[in-house]
Amino acid sequence: MQRYVYAFGKGTADGNSSMKEILGGKGANLAEMARIGLPVPPGFTISTEVCRDFYANNRNYPDGVWEQVDEALAALESQSGKSFGAGKSPLLLSVRSGAAISMPGMMDTVLNLGLNPEVAEGLIETTGNARFVWDLYRRLINMFGDVVMGVDHSHFEAALDRAKEEAGVDLDTELSAEQLKAVTARYLEIYSEHTGEEFPTDPRDQLKKAIDAVFQSWETERAVTYRKIHKITGLLGTAVNVQTMVYGNMGETSGTGVAFTRDPSTGENVFYGEFLMNAQGEDVVAGIRTPRPISELGGELEGCNRELLEVRDILEKHYKEVQDLEFTIENGTFYILQTRTGKRTAFAAVRIAVEMAEEGMIDKNEALMRVDPAQLDQLLHPMFDPKADRSPIAQGLAASPGAAVGRAVFTADDAEEWVAKGEKVLLVRAETSPEDIGGMHAANGILTSRGGMTSHAAVVARGMGKPCVAGCGMLQIDGAAKVVRVDGSDATFAEGDWVSIDGSSGEVMIGKVPTIAPQLGGAVETLLGWADEVRRMKVRTNADTPEDSVRARSFGAQGIGLCRTEHMFFGDDRIPAVREMILANDETGRRRALETLLPMQRSDFEGIFTAMGGLPVTIRLLDPPLHEFLPHDDEAQQEMADRMGLTLAQVKDKVESLSEFNPMLGHRGCRLGITYPEIYDMQVRAIGEAAVNATKAGVKVLPEIMIPLIGTDVELGILRERAVAVMEAVFAESQTVDYMVGTMIEIPRAALTADAVAKYADFFSFGTNDLTQMAFGYSRDDSGSFLPFYVEQKILVEDPFVSLDIVGVGQLVRMGVELGRKTRPNLKVGICGEHGGDPASIQFCHEVGLDYVSCSPFRVPIARLAAAQATLRDDL
Ligand code: ADP
Ligand code: MG
Ligand code: MG
């Protein structure tokens, strides 16, 4: 006969904490606590397998369940010398649900099962405490009615309120025995009114109905929805815990409470909790009376407090983890009713892991595995005060974490102007483009109505560590009138209005929501230091300016994996020269313009080399389509015409001739390098000269020249040869510096032919943003209109621009590494797409043998920890 019921009692239990799957979390821990001798009221757990079989069998219980329940009940009776729902000292029971994963939405607890009028009389006689007994009884009817029979709790609540009012008291504890007896009678009426039947007086009937209700609750809509939202799959069902009642409501030496073994919000090693005297069940959390801090328990019941502190110590040492526990004191006797792993904030998680390792409770590797790398994000940005009131008016993508508050402006220029005048602004745009960089930099945060997680706004914001909510499609942005309307609501805001965005949740609020500073502390540094000792992969950063480089270094970056040069072309002092270069009709014209740019680029690189002294810096040569740099309005076109001695019409023609239907797949990247070789020549020369200058100044430099958008080995062969020639020419003028030439692998064809490409590459860097875009054929900037739907409908498990699509795009990466290293065994390989900061993608990078990941400065700490965890998983 299959076993369905597992007992737990004084010092023994059939189950233990490893049996969560069949006993549920609560049942497994009750068994474990009984086993190690803690004062757990005896009881038994009906396994999750019953739940599974019940549903597999058209809601019929498997054979033998009720017999096993009867046996377990008989054993409880004989051990306690009490009878269930009979006699002068009756056994009463609680029935509680509990699946392997704790899950609100499951059935609530029913306490005090086994009471009927006769039993109540007997219990009054033995305890001499009528008030206590009627309190139990009215609670039973309320809970059974609500939880088992679906009678709305508010009916009972209203009757209790009326009784208190009539008695002229505020608290339930102030009601006398007689008054509670009357409440009980009223509750029985309410019960019959709403159920059309009498409240069951047969204790076994009560018990059976309660157990049945728990199993039935597994498939209620609310439970099913919860599991769906939280992606909980693969559970057998819920277990049912039936347990001897202990009474916290017997008077002033009784009570109940909840506690955490350490402070779950700061992580500090202090006992943290609350209790209520003369209370039962969930009075503490239900807010019926204001609970008191746990530190005051000693003043009430010194012995019990001592016992509680001992239990705290025992549980934490036993589980080697912070515990969230529930206890009840019955007439001065202490009982423990539940323990489970305590939920905690990101900051507490880090501090607890580090301190537990320092205390010797766990080892450093365990500490590293305990912290979810993604959680670290919370620690690196200012956030909204969790206590603050917020009523979001719209929801977009949580594109770059952190809280931002500012006055709405609608153009990048306005952002810069307002900030120059001392204002704080939030840049609100349909989408952003490279020309908006200045305004984005000036703004406190960025809000867009279009684009996905790797849209320009999102990528650049993350790089800058600026909060961003992107793709907020419900915003109707009227850029001309400078107002925003929200679909489906009458909320609006206009230029100058205060707006708050939460880049960690995607919420948009009108007004100023208060913020709190990031809580970076010693514990984070310590943990990351341990991560550095463990991890195999290096962590670099994507940074375009000396300031970003310095910040990334302070977060622990070991080099730059992607320095984009196009942003360097945008400053007011540069863009005219860039435009002149593009608009020039011949090579001579282009060269003249490039001459102006050369010293500027050189000093950019010197700045970055200096900031990253001694660490490698990968510089990507010009990548975006030329049209992004072109003057599009009359005024700018006229300025270029004047500058170059052309007519406005001539400039317009030229701009027209350069326009493309699909610029992202057009004349960009190495294709430009091939057709206008002078551009890359200038950039390479700037790199070479900057490297020489820095070296002369005593700074060690390791430049890596990266050629973007290679599709064939021939392209790279040509461009490598040119780059080497320019570098040799620079060195011939002064001295030699070590450098590398490599390529980005971001076009599927390059990955597929990586053995050939590697002939000309000292390194590969997987540009997984473009690789994903091209492998899927999804435009990064337009996928916002369908990707969320795809994810919701489970057509895709996740947004492939957020977490690398291992099955598909990952194949290209794996193949690229393998083929590349076949040609060049010492080929250095990294990743510089946004995925370089995503823990699941980092795990994959580790598995396929990448040498480093590169990510935005603010994600460097996340990557350090994720890379360490990946290394530790090698030994699992
Ligand atoms: P939850 O899953 O919401 O924590 P529980 O199953 O822990 O629900 O039960 C709800 C409340 O009932 C808790 O406060 C718990 O302490 C109390 N409770 C459960 N079983 C007993 C019992 N045998 N004796 C006294 N109180 C109990
Ligand atoms: Mg509980
Ligand atoms: Mg690219």
- Sequence-separated contacts (24+) of 163-172 with Cβ below 8 Å: 171/288, 171/289, 172/135, 172/288, 172/289
Count the neighbouring beta carbons within 10 Å of the beta carbon of residue 826: 7
- What per-residue confidence (pLDDT) applies to 520? 56
Average pLDDT over residues 707-733: 98
The DSSP code for 86 is B
Q: What is the Å distance from ligand 1's center to 341 Cα?
A: 16
Residue 224 has a pLDDT of 85
d(C-alpha 33, C-alpha 316), whole Å: 12
pLDDT band, residue 104 (cuts 50/70/90)? low
Q: Which two tokens stand for residue 834?
A: 């946004």
How far, in Å, CA of 723 to CA of 266, rounded? 54
Provide the pLDDT confidence category of residue 519 given band limits of 50, 70 and 90: low
CA–CA distance, 599 with 610 (Å, rounded to integer): 16
Closest-approaching ligand to the CA atom of 454: 3
- Measure the CA–CA gap between 370 and 425, rounded to whole angstroms: 38
CA 813 to CA 765: how far, in whole Å? 10
Judged against a pLDDT cut of 80, whether residue 463 lies above it is answered with no
Bridge partners (DSSP) of residue 564 are: 620
Which ligand is closest in space to the CA of residue 623? 3
> Is it the case that residue 586 has pLDDT exceeding 70?
yes
The ligand with the least distance to the CA atom of 27 is 1
Residue 70, C-beta contacts closer than 8 angstroms, at least 6 positions apart: none
For ligand 3, a single-atom ion, which residues have Cβ within 5 Å?
A: 746, 767, 770
Residue 456 bears catalytic tag: yes
- Distance separating alpha carbons of residues 337 and 26, to the nearest angstrom: 9
76, 111, 142: which to mutate for ligand 1, most atoms within 8 A of CB?
111
Three-state helix/strand/coil letters over 529-574:
HHHHHHCCCEEEEECCCHHHHHHHHHCCCCCEEEEECHHHHCCCCC
- Ligand 1 centroid to residue 243 C-alpha, Å: 9
Nearest Cα residue to atom 23 of ligand 1: 245
Q: What is the arithmetic mean of pLDDT over 684-690? A: 98
Angle of CA points 723, 767, 709, to nearest 5°: 45
Q: Which atom of ligand 1 is nearest to the CA of 93?
A: 23
* Residues, the chain: 876
Instruction: Give the span between the Cα atoms of 177 and 183, in whole angstroms.
Output: 10
Query: What confidence score (pLDDT) does residue 518 get?
Result: 66
Which atom number of ligand 1 is nearest to the Cα of residue 98? 2
CB atoms within 10 A of CB 778: 20
**Ligand 3 center from residue 831 Cα (angstroms):** 12
Of 687 and 588, the structure prediction assigns the larger pLDDT to: 687
Nearest ligand to the CA of 327 is: 1
pLDDT band per the 50, 70, 90 thresholds, residue 523: very high
Which residue in this structure is represented by tokens 């994963």? 101
Looking at the CA of residue 283, tell me the nearest atom of ligand 1.
Answer: 14
- Atom of ligand 1 lying closest to residue 338 CA: 7
Distances (CA, A) of 728 to 274, 698, 721, 734, 735: 73, 21, 11, 10, 9
Atom of ligand 1 lying closest to residue 41 CA: 23
Q: Which atom of ligand 1 is nearest to the CA of 326?
A: 16
Counting beta carbons within 10 angstroms of the beta carbon of residue 487, is it exposed (0 to 12), middle (13 to 18) or buried (19 or more)? exposed
Q: What integer pLDDT is reported at residue 664 of this predicted model?
A: 87
632 C-alpha to center of ligand 3: Å?
24
> Which residue among 338, 339, 341, 343 is best mutated to probe the pocket of ligand 1, counting the most ligand atoms within 8 A of its Cβ?
338
Q: Which is the catalytic residue, given 155, 381, 456, 567? A: 456
pLDDT for the residue 106: 66
Distance 867 CA to ligand 1 centre (A): 41
pLDDT score of 334 more than 70: yes
CA 324 to ligand 1 centroid distance, Å:
13
Report yes or no: 111 and 245 within 8 Å, Cβ to Cβ. yes
Ligand 1 closest atom vs CA 106: 2
Sequence-ordered list of residues with C-beta below 8 angstroms from that of 279, at least 6 positions apart, any chain: 173, 248, 249, 255, 256, 288, 289
Cβ(181)–Cβ(134) below 8 Å:
yes
Mean pLDDT (the chain, rounded): 93
Instruction: Give the burial string for 46-60 (b: 16+ CB within 10 Å, else e).
Output: bbbbbbbbbbeeeee
The tokens describing 129, both together, are 């405490």
Mutate to test the pocket of ligand 1, among 337, 339, 341 (most ligand atoms within 8 A of CB): 337
Contact 323, 238 (CB under 8 A): no
Q: Nearest CA to 264 among 362, 358, 386, 364?
A: 386
What is the 625 CA–ligand 3 centroid distance (Å)?
11
Mean local confidence (pLDDT), 683-698: 97
Residues 6+ apart with CB under 8 A from 220: 105
| Pocket probe mutation, ligand 1, options 80, 112, 115, 282, max atoms within 8 Å of Cβ | 282
Ligand 1 atom nearest to 97, measured from its CA = 6
If one counts every other C-beta atom within 10 angstroms of the C-beta of residue 691, the result is 27
pLDDT-derived band at 482, boundaries 50, 70, 90: very high
Residue holding tokens 């009916």? Answer: 155
Q: pLDDT over 90 for what percent of the chain?
A: 75
Q: Which residues line ligand 1 (CB under 6 A)?
A: 41, 94, 96, 109, 111, 243-246, 281-282, 326, 328, 337-338
Q: Tens of pLDDT along 25-36? A: 999 999 999 999
CA distances from 866 to 7, 538, 852 (A): 41, 11, 12
- Amino acid type, 193: E
**pLDDT number for residue 462:** 75
Dist. CA 771–CA 653, nearest whole Å: 34
Intra-chain end-to-end CA distance of the chain, in Å = 36
The residue whose CA is least distant from atom 12 of ligand 1 is 281
**Encoded tokens for 36:** 């190690």
Of 832, 835, 845, 846, the catalytic one is 832
On whether the CB atoms of residues 103 and 217 are closer than 8 A, the answer is: no
Q: 3-class SS at 864?
A: helix
CA of 670 from ligand 3 middle (Å) equals: 11
> pLDDT at residue 88 above 80?
yes
* pLDDT for residue 532: 97
Residue 389, pLDDT above cutoff 90: no
Cα-Cα-Cα-Cα torsion 718, 722, 728, 730, nearest 10 degrees, comes to -160
Q: From CA 584, how far away is CA 646, in angstroms rounded? A: 10
Instruction: Indicate the top mutation candidate among 328, 333, 339 to test ligand 1's pocket, ranked by most ligand atoms within 8 A of CB.
Output: 328
How many C-beta atoms lie closer than 10 Å to residue 159's C-beta? 18
Question: In this predicted structure, what is the pLDDT of residue 87?
Answer: 84
Do residues 643 and 704 lie in contact, with contact meaning Cβ atoms separated by under 8 Å?
no
Percent of the chain with pLDDT over 70: 98
Mean pLDDT in residue range 156-181: 93
The per-residue pLDDT for range 550-566, each reduced to its tens digit, is 889 989 999 999 999 98
Measured in Å, residue 742 CA sits from the centre of ligand 2 at: 58
Q: Whose CA is nearest to atom 26 of ligand 1?
A: 281
What 3-state class would DSSP assign to 389? coil
Any idea which ligand is nearest the CA of 255? 1
**Crossing angle (nearest 10°) for helices 203-217 and 65-80:** 130
What confidence tens digit (pLDDT) does each residue in 278-325 have?
999 777 766 667 788 999 999 999 999 999 999 999 999 999 999 999
| Nearest-CA residue for atom 7 of ligand 1 | 338
Residue-wise pLDDT for 803-813, tens only, equals: 999 999 999 99
Backbone angles phi and psi of 325, in degrees to 5? -125, 160
- The average pLDDT across 641-655 equals 92
**Helices in 705-747 by DSSP H: which ranges?**
713-733
| Amino acid sitting at position 295 | S
Q: Is 194 a catalytic residue?
A: no
User: Which pLDDT score is estimated for 663?
Assistant: 87
**∠ Cα 322 324 328 (to 5°):** 140
More confident: 375 or 671: 671
CB neighbour list of residue 276: distance below 8 Å, 6 or more residues apart = 248, 255, 256, 257, 283, 284, 289, 291, 292
Distance 666 CA to ligand 3 centre (A): 12
Q: Which ligand is nearest to the CA of 780?
A: 3
Structure confidence by residue, pLDDT tens digits, 591-642: 999 999 999 999 999 999 999 988 999 999 999 888 888 888 899 999 999 9
Question: Are 670 and 741 spatial neighbours (Cβ–Cβ below 8 Å)?
Answer: no
Q: What 3-state class would DSSP assign to 395?
A: strand
Query: By alpha-carbon position, which residue is closest to atom 13 of ligand 1?
Result: 281
pLDDT band at 226 (very low <50, low <70, confident <90, very high): confident
Q: 464 pLDDT band (50/70/90 cuts)?
A: confident
The lowest-confidence range among 449-458, 535-544, 555-564, 763-772 is 449-458
Nearest to 209 by CA among 113, 340, 318: 113
